[in-house]
Amino acid sequence: MAGRPGYLTLPIFSVLAAIGYVYYTAVFLAVPRWLGLSTAAGVANAAAFTALAATCLATYAVAVRRDPGRVPPGYVPDVEDAESTVHEIKRKSGDLRYCQKCCHYKPPRAHHCRVCKRCVLKMDHHCIWINNCVGHENYKIFLVFVLYAVVASFYAMILIIGSVMHSVPKDEQSGSDSSRTSIIICGVILSPLALALAVLLGWHIYLMLQNKTTIEYHEGVRAMWLAEKGGDLYHHPYDLGVYDNLISVLGPNIFCWLCPVSNTTGNGLRYRTSYDIPKSTPPM
């Protein structure tokens, strides 16, 4: 049973245990066996991996604690607003989207989470590994955490492979066999985890470049099928182009793109669409 958002659960403890286990194996077993902690290369790699692990841990903590975005009480979409060119409606009735469980209208891209029991702004999915929804306010933080986790995983794999391939002098082999076994076990566990994280990162980069959420991707597949069935073409309304899509998720300051801070544009109640971009007119 899932706990309340922001609270520690078994999956969160599993992630923390995995980070600690990989860190201990990489810094205190793999680096000493391969490079040695008394060498400049060994100290540099141990320090670099420590900094990377600390960044992963800090980013993960922010992703767990950050609220994904709440719908303000009494929110009502302004259908007469000339700047709001797109209003999401129900597919069957054509009415504005209304959440019967929360008893309020849904802003564009917002969805109700059955686990959190409330509507989430620009909801992507509910992640059991952070016991929280991934939405408007913490999507960038979640993405940055996955990025750092992928880098740390492959960095650890390099240290593990290097330590296993390194031949230890015969007079030191008695104490190195057990550490070599522990390193191999960690590598076997880490390999599929690193691959899964890399696939997850690639998937969300693909979504980000098209300014889609996971929910919108699956809705878009059906919308595209219905459009083709009717002889029309479907275009995702929030796709602004690659650079503007990156800005809308990572923020306008390129130097803060890899920082675990939420600096996304907008308040989550209204989003720019491709219809807001003025079409170029041919010269007279």
Q: Which residues are catalytic?
A: 127
Which letter does DSSP use for residue 50 in this model? H
Q: Which two tokens stand for residue 28?
A: 């205190």
Can you tell me the distance from the alpha carbon of 84 to that of 111, in angstroms, rounded to the nearest whole number? 19
Nearest to 165 by CA among 30, 17, 26: 30
Q: Contact 162/150 with Cβ under 8 angstroms?
A: no
- Total number of residues shown for the chain: 284
Q: Which two tokens stand for residue 16?
A: 């923390």
Can you tell me the distance from the alpha carbon of 15 to that of 60, in angstroms, rounded to the nearest whole number? 9
Nearest to 148 by CA among 20, 55, 256: 55
Residue 190: count of CB within 10 angstroms of its CB: 22
